Amino acid sequence: MNRRLRRAPDAEWVLMYRLGLSRARIGALVRVPPAAVGYHLAIARRQDPGLEAEHQVAAGAASGPHPAPKGLARLDEVISWVLTGGRFPDSRSRDRGERSMARWLSGRGREAAEGTLNPAYSAGLAQIPGWADNRREATDEARWHQRLGQLMAYREEGNDWPRHHDSDSDREHTLGVWIHTQRYKRRRGELNPVRLKLLDDAVPGWQLGRTRGRPPPR
């Protein structure tokens, strides 16, 4: 076994078990006998009585293939880094390792927004305070840009500004509600300046909307 001597319980193996992997699966991934994994897990269960329950829940919820050991090791690294430092890694940091973790975490955020995040990663990242909020922010940002693109396409087709009531279609209603919300936030001074500039550049005239008494352009 060409692996370094591991101090029991091995943190990487315990994390895999916590995320729902069986002794046999962990052994196969790290190329050690399942009995060796079991020895480490027995010690871990004595130290953490709740470990077995977490394993059972994760094993029941998991679907699809588990990440490779390298991915789980990166997950463990990111969790430890955030919990120790009390903040998320910055993609603009001068430290290459921190930038790498930020890119990895950003990728998991996109997967979560798309509904494709591996359950093992989801369970692990749930340990990070603020991860759910950070994920929702990424989802909201992606949805906002999607709506802007849809509004641009709608206007380029020759349509007037979409209405949020008395709409002719679900598409018009969705875009009408969205642009109505942006105007409301703009009037209250709550619209992000970056988003305000994007709207001004992409869809000029969006703040005024339809001109009363003037028929839609043909």
pLDDT in tens, the chain (218 residues): 434 456 778 888 888 888 878 888 888 888 888 888 888 988 888 888 888 777 777 776 555 566 778 888 888 889 889 888 888 888 788 999 999 998 898 888 877 766 678 877 887 887 788 777 766 676 677 778 888 999 999 999 999 999 988 888 999 999 999 999 999 999 999 998 888 998 999 999 999 888 754 444 44
Residue 40's closest CA among 18, 69, 73, 70?
Answer: 18
Write out pLDDT tens, residues 92-128.
889 999 999 988 988 888 777 666 788 778 878 877 8
pTM tops 0.75: no
Longest dimension (CA), the chain: 82
Rounded CA separation 16/39 (Å): 14
- SS3 state at 126: coil
Contact by Cβ (8 Å): 17, 123: no
Digit-coded pLDDT (tens) for 187-210: 999 998 888 998 999 999 999 888
Euclidean distance between the first and final Cα of the chain, in Å? 75
Q: What is the 3-state secondary structure (H, E, C) of 105-137?
A: HHHHHHHHHHCCCCHHHHHHHCCCCCHHHHHHH
pLDDT value, residue 186 = 93
User: Do 119 and 108 meet the contact criterion of CB atoms below 8 Å apart?
Assistant: no
Taken as a whole, the chain contains a residue count of 218
| CA separation for the pair 17, 15 (Å, rounded) | 5
In this prediction, residue 37 carries a pLDDT of 87
Task: Give the per-residue pLDDT at 49.
Answer: 80
